Structure 1
Amino acid sequence: MVDGVICGTWYWSRNLAGPVLEPGNDKVCFVAWRAVLNRLPTFQALSRRSIPVNSTECPVCGREEESADHILFLCEEAQAVWCLISQWCKVPPIYAFSVQDLVELHRYMSVPKDKAKAFHAICLITMWCIWKKRNDRVHNGAPVHVQGLYEEIKSLSYLWIKHRSKKRVTWED
């Protein structure tokens, strides 16, 4: 490939033309891609690479070791966010066993293709926003407020989908 790299079932390129990484934002897709490959710099991953960290506990909940799976969907705060996302999108509760499950969730929905693509974008944006909040907590000591995070996800999702959709998108959609 001239402009891309194939990694398992992922296709990563500058134009993000692959089936999984379609929403079109490099930062969002990059976080999802690294999470699926278990390459996010979580405390657990840093510790495994012999990089000194004070603790491998989750900086958000402090109850479990921080892994990509934990911070993105197993942490209580992340689960609360996913619960709000499922209610907002009018889909059954979102359960995942791995980050890969979250990335591929849209493929198993019985909805029109455009709605599945929008839901896929929302899932990737949710992972990115959770990761951003985690970093804000680690580097700035900022608290993680589930409701504020949810509102940020809704706003970003609407704007990104609206500006990337070929159809006219309204808030009600």
Structure 2
Amino acid sequence: MSKQENKSSKSKHEKKEGEKRSNVLGNDLWRWVVHSIHNLGRKPFEKWGKKSLPGAWMNVVNVGMELEGLGITFSSLFDIRICDGSDTLFWYDDWTCLGSLASICPHLINLDKKKSAFVSERLCGNQPNWKWKRAAMDQMEAAKFIKLEGIMMGAPTSSGADTWRSKLSSDGSFYVRDLRHLINLKLTHLVQNPIVWVSLVMTNVVFFVWRACLDRIPTSTNLTMRKVNIAISSCHSCNNGMDESNHILVNCPIARGALGWILNWCQISDQQFNSVAEFVGFAAQWGRCPKKRKIFIAIIYGFLWCGWKARNVKVFDKVRTSSLNLADSIITLVFNWVNIEASLVIVNL
């Protein structure tokens, strides 16, 4: 064989070896990509990939971490029924119904040669199949090994394939709408609010009363909490209490005097209230006649609305309103509401 033929055969052989190596590397690369995209190792979201990498992957990681911040984890969404253990991770899945073994035995997972092992690889029949990096160094570590084996043996197993059932649905199937509902429950904070929506009252007035019950109106106290410089934080009408929702609308002497006139006009005995929410709750439960209660609620909403307007007139126009004038403005406002609703009913007829 000539030297030229020997070189050509050698180059062909090297080319074939290079193609084999590239195919192996390509297969390994795609296998890594598929495992990462589907998180087959079910690792925590912060270990999926680098958050500094731009694109959709960063969004997936961020959403996953936000769900974990709400207490929604992968294991909390499903019930796992172990059969042959070929589809359940030994360390990361909650197959013992006590939590993941990685959280129960965080020290031992670092000693396992394969942290992503399945249950079938570590539990053969009723016997454990360990592959530790080293043996136990002391009695405390040996006790941890014994504890882990006790947890394993207490987990129920059966023949067949592993099954995963969603905890969010009655049929065990996973639906995105159920997860959306769970997220809404985690993000929603229920607030006790006695507001009753009455068609007789204008929408902006109902919204104001709702915010007043939650102490979300722009009083001097609330503005100060928002780092707004306010020269005077006391009540502008009486100069005794603080300029906050419960005082200026319920406890101020001007408001209490007007309330006495209004309750007397409604033929209701004099009442004392400590907060706007208590005042509105009293109106929402007053009487047995729905029609009379509806009108009384409108009167109370008008009382709070006119009280707030009187406070603003004192702040910006420097004009003080007496209790009697405040009561007259409340009665006039409610009469206008009633007349407007009556005219709308006649037009619809």
How many residues of Structure 1 are paired with residues of Structure 2 in the alignment?
A: 155
Q: Is the 8 A contact 2:220 2:233 kept in 1?
A: yes
Cα distance change, pair 152–86 in 1 and its aligned pair in 2 (3 A): same
Moved over 3 A (4+): 6-11
For the pair 1:21 / 2:197, whether they are aligned, the reply is yes
Per the TM alignment, residue 96 of structure 1 is displaced from its structure 2 partner at its CA by 1.5
CA deviations over 1:25-69 (Å, ceiling 9, x no partner)? 022112101101111111111111110000210011101111100
For the pair 1:52 / 2:52, whether they are aligned, the reply is no
Per the TM alignment, residue 163 of structure 1 is displaced from its structure 2 partner at its CA by 2.6
The aligned counterpart of 1:64 is 241
The 5-angstrom pairing of residues 63-102 of structure 1 reads: 63-102=240-279
The aligned counterpart of 1:39 is 216
Q: Which runs of 5+ in 1 are unaligned?
A: 1-5, 12-18, 169-173
Equivalent of 1:30, from 204, 207, 215? Answer: 207
Per the TM alignment, residue 80 of structure 1 is displaced from its structure 2 partner at its CA by 0.3
Cα distance change, pair 164–8 in 1 and its aligned pair in 2 (3 A): farther
For the pair 1:8 / 2:8, whether they are aligned, the reply is no
The residue type paired with residue 8 of structure 1 is V
The aligned counterpart of 2:339 is 162
Per the TM alignment, residue 10 of structure 1 is displaced from its structure 2 partner at its CA by 5.5
- Greater mean deviation of Cα atoms: 26-35 or 103-112: 103-112
CA deviations over 1:79-111 (Å, ceiling 9, x no partner)? 001111100000121322211112122233234
Q: Is the 8 A contact 2:302 2:330 kept in 1?
A: yes
Equivalent-residue separation in structure 2 for 1:24 and 1:127 (angstroms): 12
What is the root-mean-square deviation in Å for CA atoms of aligned residues? 2.2
Q: Is the 8 A contact 1:81 1:150 kept in 2?
A: yes
The aligned counterpart of 1:138 is 315
The aligned counterpart of 2:183 is none
Structure whose alpha-carbon radius of gyration is higher: 2
> Secondary structure of the residue that 2:294 maps to in structure 1?
helix
CA deviations over 1:116-161 (Å, ceiling 9, x no partner)? 1100000000000000010011011111122111111111111212
Per the TM alignment, residue 165 of structure 1 is displaced from its structure 2 partner at its CA by 5.2
Q: Is the 8 A contact 1:105 1:120 kept in 2?
A: no
The 5-angstrom pairing of residues 105-144 of structure 1 reads: 105-144=282-321
- Larger RCO (CA within 8 A; separation ≥ 6): 1
Cα distance change, pair 129–7 in 1 and its aligned pair in 2 (3 A): farther
Cα distance change, pair 159–38 in 1 and its aligned pair in 2 (3 A): same
Q: Which runs of 5+ in 2 are unaligned?
A: 1-188
The alignment's TM-score, normalised by the length of structure 1, stands at 0.81
